[in-house]
Amino acid sequence: MPSHEAPHAATGNDGSSSFLADKSAKVFLAGHKGMLGSAVHRRLTALGFTNVVGRSRAELDLTCEAAVRKFFDAERIRYVILAAGKVGGLHASSAAPVDFMTENLRITTNVLAAARLCGTVRKLLFLATSAVYPVDAPQPIPESTLLAGPPAPGNEWYAIPKIVGIKMCQAYRAELGMDAIVAAPNNLYGPREPFPSESSHVIPALIRRFHRAKAAGAPEVAVWGSGLQLREFTHADDAADTIVLLMDRYSGAEHINVGSGREVTVRELAEMVREVVGYQGRIVWDTSRPDGVMRRLLDSSKMRAMGWEPKVELRDGLKKLYEGYLRGSVVTNVESMNR
């Protein structure tokens, strides 16, 4: 993969050191073992940050208000990147809507409250999702369409807590002066331990399905839907670059879209994965299964205006994922900040 150059460090609007000039400060990376969180951790380490703090759920349950308050009071965190949350595919959130709603709401409210009350946090970034946008939003989707309509059916259990998170960051900024910012990525993919098969997102599901069919000599692989849906994928390493850039240069109230701007149909994606895996059989499209949202392309012009450009091409990213899958040391998953 191409190397990712560091963005130029700047001075904060209040004259304080910028994020990139404050590499010895404590950075709490919530969700540091997740797909995006681990990519951010790698990026911060490569940039020379020496005090990145991560906690597993066994060490710190972010849904427990008292535990989160105690952690922030003891650790004296200066920066927070909130990439933790309950994630999964459409099937997973539809099967457990209460868990998705309550866990994600509790994590957001607990971390925001503790970050403000501890008195040491200078800046917080909350990770939202492109699933927050209305199902009939104009394409590409600008940030201004938030709350112009309901999210897609089935996505609401995941999307609504993220909408609440966006508005809470705005409320904390407006009423309490907290520098709370929000990034809204589209479908992300990258190395991470897999979810159970029934809650997989499209890329890991296709990789596993084609690999198993190849190993078994199966003549065909069934894929849900028509394959005509358009999807925008962004590699976690590229998304991690945007997190660093936003932490360093952005202090606005409006959330910022993060998407590669490159669309493929699910058919094109499936063919790409089939070629990467080396499966010689045919693909059968199960049109009795739902397609989901037919298109969700983000308008990421504001992110690009800050100097960001995605570097990882989809085919190259898929090859790396499959190589990791074969090694077993890095198994793949997609954590959509969309579905």
DSSP 109-166: HHHHHHHHHTS---EEEEE--GGGSBTT--SSBPGGGTTSSPBPTTTHHHHHHHHHHH
Q: CA–CA separation, 75 vs 53, rounded Å?
A: 9
Residues with active-site annotation: 158
Q: Is residue 122 part of a domain?
A: yes
Helix/strand/coil for 232: strand
- What confidence tens digit (pLDDT) does each residue in 255-290 have? 999 999 999 999 999 999 999 999 999 999 999 988
Smallest CA-to-CA distance from 101 within 48, 40, 162 is with 162
Asked if the structure places residue 77 within a domain, the reply is yes
Residue 47 maps to a domain: yes
The structure tokens listed for 48 are: 């020379």
For the cut 60, the answer to whether the pLDDT of residue 60 exceeds it is: yes
User: pLDDT per residue over 194-203, tens digit each?
Assistant: 433 445 678 9
Asked if residue 195 lies in contact with residue 207, where contact means CB atoms within 8 angstroms, the answer is no
DSSP 3-state of 294: coil
Residue 261 lies in a domain: yes
**CA torsion through residues 210, 258, 139, 339, sign:** positive
Q: How many domains are contained in the chain?
A: 1
pLDDT at 1 over 70: no
Three-state secondary-structure class, residue 288? coil
Q: In what order do the strands lie in the sheet with 27-30?
A: 52-53, 27-30, 79-82, 123-127, 180-185, 256-258
9: in domain: no
Q: Which domain holds residue 138?
A: 23-337
For residue 141, pLDDT over 90 is answered with yes
pLDDT of residue 235: 97
Instruction: Identify whether 13 is part of a domain.
Output: no
Residue ranges of alpha helices (H) inside the chain are 35-47, 65-75, 90-95, 97-117, 156-176, 202-216, 236-249, 266-277, 301-305, 314-327
2: in domain: no
Residue 30 resides in a domain: yes
Model confidence pLDDT, tens digit, residues 77-119: 999 999 999 987 777 788 899 999 999 999 999 999 999 999 9
CATH code for position 301: 3.40.50.720
